[in-house]
Structure 1
Amino acid sequence: MKFLTAAFSLLLVSSPVFSCDWKISKTRDQMTDVVTCAVTSAKAKVSFYRHGKDRPNVYDGSAYSESGLRIRIDDNKVISMGDNAYTRQKALDELLPQLKSGTRIRTAFDDYPEYKEGDAPLCNLQKLLDAC
Structure 2
Amino acid sequence: MIGLLNGPFKCITIVALAALAVPAFSCDWTVNKTTDPMTDAVTCWVSSASAKVSFYRHGKDRPNVYNKSAYSESWLMIRVDDNKAISMGENAYTRQKALDELLPQIRTGKRLRTTFNDYPERQDGDAQICNLPKLLDACNS
Query: TM class by shorter-chain length?
Result: 0.7 to 0.9
Distance in 1 (alpha carbons) for counterparts of 2:130 and 2:50:
12
Structure-1 residue corresponding to 2:26 = 19
Which amino acid is 1:61 matched to?
K
Larger Rg: 2
Tell me the distance in 2 between the aligned counterparts of 1:36 and 1:124: 19
- State whether residues 65 and 83 of structure 1, in contact with CA within 8 Å, keep that contact through their aligned partners in structure 2: no
1:55 Cα deviation from its structure 2 partner: 2.4
Unaligned runs of 5+ in 1: none
Q: Partner residue of 2:95?
A: 88
Whether the 8 Å contact between 1:67 and 1:111 is mirrored in structure 2 is: no
In structure 2, the gaps of 5 or more residues are 1-7
User: How far 1:66 sits from its partner (Å)?
Assistant: 5.0
Deviation at 1:87, TM superposition (A): 1.0
1:128 has 2:138 as partner? no
TM-score norm. by structure 2 comes to 0.81
1:73 maps to which of 54, 74, 80: 80
Structure 2 partner of 1:46: 53
> For 1:28, which of 35, 38, 62 is the aligned residue?
35
In structure 2, the CA distance between the partners of 1:127 and 1:66, relative to structure 1 (3 Å rule), is closer
| Secondary structure of 1:118 counterpart | strand
Superposition TM-score, scaled by structure 1 size: 0.86
Residue 66 to residue 59, structure 1, CA distance change in 2 (3 Å): closer
The size of the alignment, in residue pairs, is 127
Distance in 1 of aligned mates of 2:57 and 2:121:
27
Judging changes above 3 Å, is the alpha-carbon distance between structure 1 residues 40 and 55 closer, same or farther for their aligned structure 2 residues?
same
* Identity fraction in percent: 69
- Report the residue type matching 2:97 in the other structure: K
Distance 2:122 2:86 in 1: 17
Deviations 1:29-83 (A, max 9, x none): 0000000000100000000111112222110021222530000000001100011
